[in-house]
């Protein structure tokens, strides 16, 4: 049963329609990541959930009760901000304790709860320091501790790892889900980093054009995106895509693109005709060995990306493709000799040529 429901939520600022008829159901204890490009309305949506902003229309429900008219402090919702938002004149201890003091809790209980969450987040050694004396990683943990110390039902996290260095970001991606599960808290987490979204989320909601276009498991969104737009948001380098006329032949699809016939080992129920074919760089085999279904390509360039090597190659019709492989695999590629590409079985996607929606 869903714990939070968003029903036809809309929010505009003058003529700017930021959120338009948005719907979602979020489960109790779920780590729900809202992912989308910059300016897609992620922070606005978080502020609607927290009560800082009110929707123009639609209903926000918690346990089937409409909470639109409840003030932020009445919602049992806590929020941690991207820029930490710590009180500069208060030590870390006092920052973390501030929500508890607002609820008139005894000093002994405050002390116990602050120390518990500080130990959990490994900041017990900085409780007597002011924000200006903390590293960005310590500031973020202090901000997170403040949002969790009251054990709220829902925690809203606005891209909390964006302003910390890569090492801290990696550590927090590992630690954060464990910490939050101990609190049995429902987490709604904002990110514009697809890797972070996939690493943290139980489910991802992909926000653009004012609504959630996909809500699914991370693996499903990567492998079966609802549209070419979503497919392009996930993956680095981005998905290869090109217009083609496809025709099915038993367990194969032949995609004709500007005179080049590309053979794809793929079963599909879509009709023959024009569409957009999408193939991720890691699903293209690049080799010096020719096979029955491979195509000649011209080497253009290559570049390292994380622990992989990305090759840019060109077909005889001028179509350029990105191919990605491990560093070990790349050692076997002789760039000055003839190269060929083929395509991994059942890995390509087909999108409508006009709407860009996934045809399957």
pLDDT per residue, tens digit, the chain (360 aa), is 689 999 999 999 999 999 999 999 999 999 999 999 999 999 999 999 999 999 999 999 999 999 999 998 888 898 887 777 899 999 999 999 998 887 778 899 999 999 988 988 889 999 999 999 998 888 888 998 998 888 889 999 988 887 777 787 888 888 888 888 877 889 999 999 999 999 999 999 999 999 999 999 999 999 999 999 999 999 999 999 999 999 998 889 999 999 999 999 988 889 999 999 999 999 999 999 999 889 999 999 999 988 899 999 999 999 999 999 999 999 999 999 999 999 999 999 999 999 999 999
pLDDT (tens digit per residue) in 235-285: 999 999 999 999 998 889 999 999 999 999 988 889 999 999 999 999 999
pLDDT (tens digit per residue) in 197-217: 999 999 999 999 999 999 999
User: In this predicted structure, what is the pLDDT of residue 273?
Assistant: 94
By C-alpha distance, which of 201, 233, 200, 235 is closest to 215?
Answer: 201
Arch. (CATH architecture) of 2-225:
3-Layer(aba) Sandwich (3.40)
> What are the residue boundaries of the structural domains of the chain, listed by start?
2-225, 240-351
User: In this predicted structure, what is the pLDDT of residue 35?
Assistant: 97
- The pTM assigned to this predicted structure is 0.91
User: In this predicted structure, what is the pLDDT of residue 242?
Assistant: 97
Topology annotation, domain 240-351: OB fold (Dihydrolipoamide Acetyltransferase, E2P) (2.40.50)
Contact indicator for 29, 183 with CB cutoff of 8 Å: no
Q: How many CB atoms lie within 10 A of CB 331?
A: 10
Contact indicator for 43, 190 with CB cutoff of 8 Å: yes
Q: Which residues contact 13 (CB under 8 A, 6 or more apart)?
A: none
């Amino acid at each position: 049963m869903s714990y939070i429901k968003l029903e036809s939520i809309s929010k505009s600022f003058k003529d700017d329609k930021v959120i338009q008829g948005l719907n979602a159901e979020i489960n109790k204890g779920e780590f729900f990541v809202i992912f989308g490009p910059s300016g897609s309305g992620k922070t606005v949506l978080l502020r609607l959930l927290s009560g800082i902003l009110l929707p123009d229309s639609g209903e926000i429900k918690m346990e089937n009760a409409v909470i639109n008219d409840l003030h932020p402090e009445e919602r049992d919702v806590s929020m941690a901000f991207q820029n930490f938002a710590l009180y500069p004149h208060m030590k870390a201890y006092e920052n973390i304790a501030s929500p508890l003091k607002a609820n008139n809790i005894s000093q002994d209980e405050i002390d116990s709860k602050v120390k518990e969450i500080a130990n959990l987040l490994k900041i017990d050694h900085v409780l007597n320091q002011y924000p200006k004396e903390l590293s960005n990683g310590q500031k973020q943990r202090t901000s997170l501790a403040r949002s969790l110390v009251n054990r709220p039902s829902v925690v809203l996290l606005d891209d909390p790892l964006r302003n910390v260095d890569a090492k801290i970001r990696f550590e927090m991606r590992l630690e954060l889900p464990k910490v939050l599960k101990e609190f049995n808290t429902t987490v709604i987490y904002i990110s514009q980093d697809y890797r972070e979204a996939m690493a943290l989320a139980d489910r991802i909601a992909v926000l653009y054009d004012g609504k959630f276009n996909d809500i699914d498991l991370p693996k499903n969104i990567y492998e079966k995106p609802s549209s070419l737009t979503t497919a392009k948001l996930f993956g680095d380098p981005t998905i290869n895509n090109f217009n083609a006329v496809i025709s099915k032949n038993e367990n194969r699809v032949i995609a004709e693109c500007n005179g080049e016939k590309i053979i794809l080992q793929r079963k599909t129920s879509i009709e023959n005709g024009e569409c957009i074919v999408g193939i991720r760089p890691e699903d293209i085999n690049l080799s010096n060995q020719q096979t029955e279904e491979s195509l000649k390509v011209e080497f253009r360039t290559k570049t390292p990306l994380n622990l992989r090597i990305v090759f840019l190659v060109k077909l005889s019709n001028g179509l350029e493709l990105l191919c990605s492989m491990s560093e070990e695999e790349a050692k076997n590629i002789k760039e000055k000799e003839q190269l060929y590409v083929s395509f991994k079985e059942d890995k390509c996607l087909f999108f409508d040529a006009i709407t860009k929606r996934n045809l399957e």
